[in-house]
């Protein structure tokens, strides 16, 4: 009986060359189309309901080479570019929008950093800028030395250079929250735009667009409220993040009966998984890059491969 399923993760899917930020790391619409051709030739796209069925009953079998497509971060790319292509081919996509970005028109810090890097490709120069800014916070926040941060952030990333990795880790996680938020705000305002609301409306889907995806049979799940690393926040804050994300699904008309979780940055821990079980979460998706063996992985920590792992 087949218990293996490939779950693919996508982020930006856009006409990069003709976009305002051609240096953004993403998949072109053309390559996405080619990847869909490849997928349809070699795999059987399935729905999330089919996957739930296979997990709940060992009787229900998966088709040969099953594949599930997931799209993180609620980008308008997903409504404008992905949805028409999936709908035309009768493929279900699973979309995971971060609630705060959609509801409050705030640009996620992770996205601000990506767009700053798309405008200023010299990550070394940006790091210099960050450390100059850090000088003024050093005393008040008892910050560590530059070397200590470099050391703490040195873990390898699959697709980034070392300097980009250091910059992202510092600004996403290593620095105290108030400090990193302020530094990211400054970099974004200086290099990208002062109009955050306008930028957010261009970058993310609206509530109506997400509701439209849902009406057309696409799946909408949780991706946290603020898109925090949920394995780095307290259990109390995990409750706030999850409950606010569930309220967001409720507002969309999606409801909480059949909800799924996609962990921001793939970050989860025992207290979070325990909370998800309490809230009757059906499936959880990480960023561990493997084909998912349903007999090995827990349904709340299913691995996903990246679009870059498949030909396009
Ligand atoms: Zn995300």
Average pLDDT over residues 59-70: 90
Q: What is the pLDDT of residues 248-306, one digit of tens each?
A: 999 999 988 889 999 999 999 999 999 999 999 999 999 999 999 998 999 999 999 99
pLDDT at position 162, please?
Answer: 75
Distance 136 CA to ligand 1 centre (A): 30
Distance 265 CA to ligand 1 centre (A): 6
Helix extents (H) in 92-234: 99-104, 109-119, 123-135, 138-141, 146-152, 162-169, 177-191, 196-203, 207-215
Average pLDDT over residues 200-209: 98
Distance 135 CA to ligand 1 centre (A): 30
Distance 73 CA to ligand 1 centre (A): 5
pTM, to two decimals? 0.93
Binned at pLDDT 50, 70 and 90, residue 156 comes out as low
pLDDT of residue 148 exceeding 90, the answer is no
Distance 98 CA to ligand 1 centre (A): 7
* Three-state SS at 269: coil
Binned at pLDDT 50, 70 and 90, residue 158 comes out as low
Distance 223 CA to ligand 1 centre (A): 7
Distance CA 112, CA 168 (A): 11
Distance 71 CA to ligand 1 centre (A): 9
DSSP codes joined into one string, 70-86: EEETTBHHIIIIIHHHH
Burial class of residue 269 in the structure, from the number of CB atoms within 10 Å of its CB (0-12 exposed, 13-18 middle, 19+ buried): middle
């Amino acid at each position: 009986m087949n218990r293996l399923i490939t779950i693919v993760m996508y982020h930006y899917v856009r006409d990069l060359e003709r976009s305002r930020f051609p240096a953004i790391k993403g998949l072109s619409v053309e390559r996405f189309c080619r990847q869909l051709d490849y997928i349809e030739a070699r795999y059987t796209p399935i729905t999330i309901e089919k996957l739930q069925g296979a997990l709940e009953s060992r009787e229900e079998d998966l088709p040969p080479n099953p594949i599930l497509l997931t799209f993180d971060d609620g980008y308008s790319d997903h409504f404008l570019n992905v949805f028409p292509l999936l709908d035309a081919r009768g493929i279900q996509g699973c979309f995971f929008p971060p609630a705060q970005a959609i509801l409050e028109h705030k640009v996620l810090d992770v996205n601000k950093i990506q767009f700053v890097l798309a405008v200023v490709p010299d990550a070394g120069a940006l790091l210099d800028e960050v450390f100059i800014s850090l000088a003024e916070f050093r005393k008040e926040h008892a910050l560590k030395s530059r070397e200590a941060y470099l050391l703490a952030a040195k873990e390898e990333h699959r697709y980034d250079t070392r300097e980009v990795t250091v910059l992202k880790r510092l600004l996403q996680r290593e620095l105290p929250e108030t400090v990193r938020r302020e530094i990211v705000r400054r970099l974004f305002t200086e290099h990208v735009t002062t109009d955050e609301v306008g930028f957010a409306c261009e970058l993310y889907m609206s509530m109506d667009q997400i509701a439209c995806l849902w009406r057309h049979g696409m799946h909408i799940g949780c991706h946290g409220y603020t898109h925090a690393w949920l394995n780095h926040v307290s259990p109390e804050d995990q409750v706030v993040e999850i409950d606010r994300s569930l309220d967001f699904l409720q507002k969309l008309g999606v409801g909480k009966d059949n909800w799924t979780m996609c962990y921001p940055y793939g970050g989860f821990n025992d207290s979070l998984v325990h909370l998800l079980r309490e809230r009757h979460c059906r499936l959880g998706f990480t960023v561990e890059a493997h084909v998912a063996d349903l007999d090995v992985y827990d349904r709340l920590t299913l691995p996903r491969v990246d679009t870059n792992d498949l030909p396009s």
